[in-house]
Amino acid sequence: MGSSLTHKGLKHDNIYYFWVVVFFIIMTGIVLAIYFSALQIDYTWRWYRIPRYFAYQEQIETKSEIDGEVQSISKKGKDAVVLVKGLEGTESYAVRASALRVEEGDQIYYGDPLASYKKWRVGILLEGLWLTLKVSVIAIIFGIAIGLFAGLARISSNPALKWSAITYIEMIRGSPLLVQIFIWYFVLGTLFNNILANHGISQISALWFGVAALASFTGAYVAEMVRAGIQSIHRGQTEAARSLGMTYVKSMRHVILPQALRRILPPLAGQFISLIKDSSLLGIIAVRELTKATREVVTTSLQPFELWFVCALLYLVLTFSLSMLLQYLERRQLVV
Amino acid sequence: MIDVKNISKTFKSHSTEVKALVNVTAKVDKGEVVVVLGPSGSGKSTFIRCLNYLNVADEGSIVIDGIDILDPKTDINKVRAEVGMVFQSFNLFPHKTVLENVILAPIVVRKKSKEEAKKKGMELLEKVGILDKADVYPDQLSGGQQQRVAIARALAMEPKVMLFDEPTSALDPEMVGEVLDVMKNLAREGMTMVVVSHEMGFAREVADRVIFMDDGAVVEVGTPEHFFTNPTHERTKLFLSQIL
């Protein structure tokens, strides 16, 4: 309704379509500007090199280890056994029947392929994307749990709980995430892993300290949202729930939190989108997520322009999907 | 059933102190309907809220069904489960349907099975006359319908006492009747009820006793007949002359 009012008289006018065209001219202009600037420095665009970093085919070969003659090939379903008779004896090789490259009676020399086939492998960019997704999902889940607990502690009347929550929230919100990642990895990580080593327990990898940094960071912001959400629910709701004999926990669980979470869903969505983007910082503690993976590919392929655009696009796919998912949840609840 | 002795309650903020209740003593017997009347700010809402610990009395004693609710060792949740409360602003749970509102507490507090709670819930909705709205959300109901759901929700716990805190004050005039009818039926069935209200007609017709409060104190207690036709205190007479 609002938009139809503001665009009144503009929507079906020629002027409206004029500005639509202007929009597309601006977009095309930006793309062309980048393209022609790249020409100025003799940059060669090689988009065809990009797909291999998502997935590539690896050649897998079975090679003969002796000189000789293929004596026999016995097939059994999908498998085959190749017998090679040489001067010093016979060697047998189990291969895939479909991958066979030789026939009975062929002369074979050392290193000749008896069978070869291609296998799809996951490329480094896709691995990085997967790791980013994994880190983000785990950090979001823990972030919600921490935020819920800290938010409830924040509004508790118990000073130990309340002051702990305030200290946690203020410390996290008052320092840069990058510094927090360094503290988690270089300070807490060193302490943890040394203690674990002293007890002969295996080490915790950088990935988990990265997840911990992101989860504790997100938790502080979620806590403030949870607090605001709960406080926005009318006091009468608690009174009604408690007057029915529900305990504090039951009234929170069944009456207050469901309503509060519904209200804070939009800001939560924004926070989780930030988390996905912030996970790009984990590259500095050697977690090979999407950004770090892209940096590695750039150094080997020397195609930085294409790769950084692809990297940004992949983040956009993640964040856009998440925002669609949360919008769907929000809409569904409005109908309910 | 309810035995209140000498309770006082003072609300304190930074600069002000408000004495909401001063030495209030009252008694409600089983099966009795007691209507609490009084001008705004007389402490009648504070009084009824003290009865199920939504406000905590500073001193005195409140014994409900033999349990002293001001005793720190008392599990207040057990007492509240036996005491139904209906609020001025309904306070239905907006994220749950009418039926879900009614069956929530029986399931999570009384540990009833869902089927059992639903069966009982439907009976209660029929009793308050909104069976056809069982699956809609509270915001689609009129004020009168919402308040009747709130009554059904309180009754679902099978309480021994029902407290009504100005149940019709937030309603449009044409909806007051339907809520009062439900309450009258309840009184006829022998439910013990404490009602804070401005509905003089209801007090006259249904109440066994009327308590008149002013400035946080009980001024006069008596049968409706005595109260409306032959009040003893000047303050009561003034109040009646203002509203009748």
Question: A177-206: b or e for each residue (b if 16 or more CB lie within 10 Å)?
Answer: beebbbebbeeebeebbeeeeeeeeeeeeb
Considering only CB atoms, which chain A residues are within 8 Å of B104? 244, 254-255
Q: Answer yes or no: is the ipTM higher than 0.90.
A: yes
Report chain B residues whose CB lies below 8 A from the CB of A246: 77, 105, 108-109
Q: Chain A residue with minimal CA distance to B136?
A: A336
Query: Is A243 close to B52, i.e. CB distance below 8 A?
Result: yes
Instruction: Say whether residue B85 is in contact with chain A using an 8 A CB cutoff.
Output: yes
CB contact, 8 Å: A238 with chain B? no
At B110-134, the pLDDT tens digits run 999 999 999 999 999 999 999 999 9
Per-residue pLDDT band at B41 (split at 50, 70, 90): confident
Q: In terms of C-beta density within 10 A (0-12 exposed, 13-18 middle, 19 or more buried), how is residue A267 classed?
A: middle
Which residue in B53, B77, B153 has the most chain A C-beta atoms within 10 A of its own C-beta, making it the best mutation to test that interface?
B77
The helices-and-strands tally (H runs, E runs) of chain A is 12, 6
A–B interface: beta-carbon pairs under 8 A: 62
B183-211 pLDDT, tens per residue? 999 999 999 999 999 889 999 999 999 99
Alpha carbon of B96: minimum distance to chain A alpha carbons (Å): 9
User: Which pLDDT score, from 0 to 100, does residue A316 have?
Assistant: 97
CB contact under 8 A, B89 and A236: yes
Average pLDDT over residues B153-167: 96
The pair of structure tokens assigned to A326 is: 């949360």
Nearest CB neighbour to A239, from listed B81, B87, B157? B87
Closest CA to A225 of A192, A182, A189, A272: A272
- pLDDT value, residue A89: 81
For residue B104, give the nearest of A263, A235, A225, A241 by alpha carbon: A241
A247 shares contact with chain B (CB less than 8 Å): yes
How far lies A137's CA from each of A144, A218, A268, A290, A312, in Å? 11, 12, 14, 14, 19
Does the CB of B92 have a partner CB in chain A at under 8 Å? Answer: yes
Q: Is A243 close to B78, i.e. CB distance below 8 A?
A: no
pLDDT in tens, chain A (336 residues): 444 445 555 566 888 999 999 999 999 999 999 999 999 998 888 899 889 899 998 888 888 888 888 888 888 888 888 888 888 788 888 888 888 888 888 888 888 888 888 889 999 999 999 999 999 999 999 999 999 999 999 999 999 999 999 999 999 999 999 999 999 999 999 999 999 999 988 899 999 999 999 999 999 999 999 999 999 999 999 999 999 999 999 999 999 999 999 899 999 999 999 999 999 999 999 999 999 999 999 998 889 999 999 999 999 999 999 999 988 888 876 544
The CA distance from B58 to B38, in Å, is 22
Sequence-ordered strand ranges (E) for A270-320: none
Verify whether the Cβ–Cβ distance B95 to A244 is below 8 Å: no
B212 phi/psi in degrees, rounded to 5: -105, 125
What whole-number distance in Å separates Cα of residue A108 and Cα of residue A112?
Answer: 6
Q: What pLDDT sits at residue A11?
A: 60
Beta strands in chain A (DSSP E): 55-63, 68-76, 79-85, 90-96, 107-108, 113-122
> For residue A12, what pLDDT is reported?
67
CA-to-CA distance for B10 and B21, rounded, in angstroms? 7
Which amino acid, residue B228? F
Among B94, B95, B105, the residue with its CB nearest the CB of A244 is B105
Nearest CA in chain B to A241: B105
Which residues in chain A are closer than 8 Å to B150, comparing Cβ atoms? 240
Residues of chain A neighbouring B91 (CB-CB closer than 8 A): 234, 236-237, 239-240
Predicted local confidence at residue A80, as pLDDT: 85
Would you state the pLDDT for residue B15?
A: 85
Query: What pLDDT shows up at residue A336?
Result: 43
- List of chain B residues whose C-beta atoms are within 8 Å of the C-beta of residue A259: 93-95
User: Any CB–CB contact under 8 A between B111 and chain A?
Assistant: no
Distance from the B214 Cα atom to the nearest Cα atom in chain A, whole angstroms = 25
Q: Tell me if A64 sits within 8 A of A93, measured CB to CB.
A: yes
B81 → chain A, closest CA residue: A245
Q: Which of A243, A264, A336 to mutate to test the interface with B (most CBs of B within 10 A)?
A: A243
pTM, to two decimals: 0.81
Asked if A244 is an interface residue toward chain B (Cβ–Cβ < 8 A), one would say yes
